[in-house]
Structure 1
């Protein structure tokens, strides 16, 4: 999405008081953090059948030829509930709920421990915090998973809030998580920037009429997906302090 003028971009930047970050692919390296865990879950869902496990990974969004997750795929951008519905379509509601609880617990135990931060993450958050921005995490992982990941990476003190798919009424791409954060911190939505690596993040920003949507190329989606949706696209979050400066 292009601006009519540089002054329009400057006006948007000046209005921002808070920045919400997606987690996976934005703050942490998605491939290095989640492949092993996702495949272990797929193997369990497939009862040890390797061919079936590879198929589950494929429909979940892993490109075996490219050796990376596809942008906007269920594993890359969806919720645990969406992944369970995809991998266990014949389970009844009670069984799916039990599987969701199991996946959430497994994710909470394994995901944060294997989290790999994107380059320059600590310095980026330190700079933005020093610039006076209110920072938050808005993810389609669980709220507990977001908090634990931040704690284990030593960055939790930078954030004023953690929003998971289970925090607000509906997860991204709905507006609810952004509205929730704005209300919690007494902000206008026009004062809020959303940063993410998938279309879900940009769509949530537009649905909430947030002040700014920033796409980053550190995750699963490329510029071809992000540029039509984002106000601006940057290589990674490490470029954000300079943008606001």
Structure 2
């Protein structure tokens, strides 16, 4: 079936994960831990962040988990803060991250829209966080659908938020492609009956994504060429 919609993950897909989040995360870990060395180590361990390399391990809840899951993990290391306090702190500070788009997003998205494609974002971040970051790079209005884990549709790897996009766009799921950098993204896409594209701008390697993907690409900039090959 002809592809009519593209649903993108955000972190690691629209934005290069490590270039955007590793430095920001290190700063937030130190702040949440009150700059206490022992507690810094505990918070880093809770979110699977390597203090020596300055980057997340591939199994970090920060990569594919929801903000609530990340906050619950951190709360185990900083019991003087509630999960809600941590979640609000992270949400408020997300705007401080230096975003690294995987491609020049405005012309890229305008090109896809020019082909008549419906475009969406489904992230396990909050909807507020997603809109804040998309606003920063001036592309919010280029998406027909933006949802986070807290938008009322559920979170990946559930297919429900993906099916909400298809339903709102009035598209059959098999005409939609789920694009993501994690197995959560691709598993959700498979469960929704969609095609799936893995990208390598997150932390997962090709061999991890390939079993769940129709194709694994270096970044989203290669999607138009892949779409043309389907014609």
TM-score normalised over the length of structure 2: 0.89
Q: CA deviation at 1:64?
A: 4.5
Counterpart among 129, 135, 149 of residue 165 in structure 1: 149
Q: Distance in 1 between matches of 2:223 and 2:53?
A: 29
Which position in structure 2 is the counterpart of 1:87? 74
The worse-fitting range, judged by mean Cα deviation, of 42-51 and 220-229 is: 42-51
Q: Distance in 2 between matches of 1:49 and 1:73?
A: 22
Q: Distance in 1 between matches of 2:56 and 2:214?
A: 24
Q: CA deviation at 1:59?
A: 3.7
Which position in structure 1 is the counterpart of 2:61? 74
Which position in structure 1 is the counterpart of 2:88? 101
Which position in structure 1 is the counterpart of 2:168? 184
Counterpart among 12, 15, 21 of residue 2 in structure 2: 15
Structure 1: 5+ residue stretches without partners: 1-13
Q: CA deviation at 1:85?
A: 1.0
Aligned alpha-carbon RMSD (Å): 2.2
Q: Distance in 1 between matches of 2:156 and 2:45?
A: 23
Which position in structure 2 is the counterpart of 1:195? 179
The worse-fitting range, judged by mean Cα deviation, of 141-150 and 235-244 is: 141-150
Which position in structure 1 is the counterpart of 2:215? 232
Q: Distance in 2 between matches of 1:231 and 1:129?
A: 22
Which position in structure 1 is the counterpart of 2:226? 243
Q: Distance in 1 between matches of 2:144 and 2:36?
A: 43
Structure 2: 5+ residue stretches without partners: none
The worse-fitting range, judged by mean Cα deviation, of 31-40 and 227-236 is: 31-40
Q: Distance in 1 between matches of 2:86 and 2:138?
A: 30
The worse-fitting range, judged by mean Cα deviation, of 58-67 and 40-49 is: 58-67
Q: CA deviation at 1:67?
A: 4.3
Q: CA deviation at 1:52?
A: 3.0
TM-score normalised over the length of structure 1: 0.84
The aligned runs of 1:97-136 (5 Å cut-off) are: 97-107=84-94, 109-111=95-97, 114-136=98-120
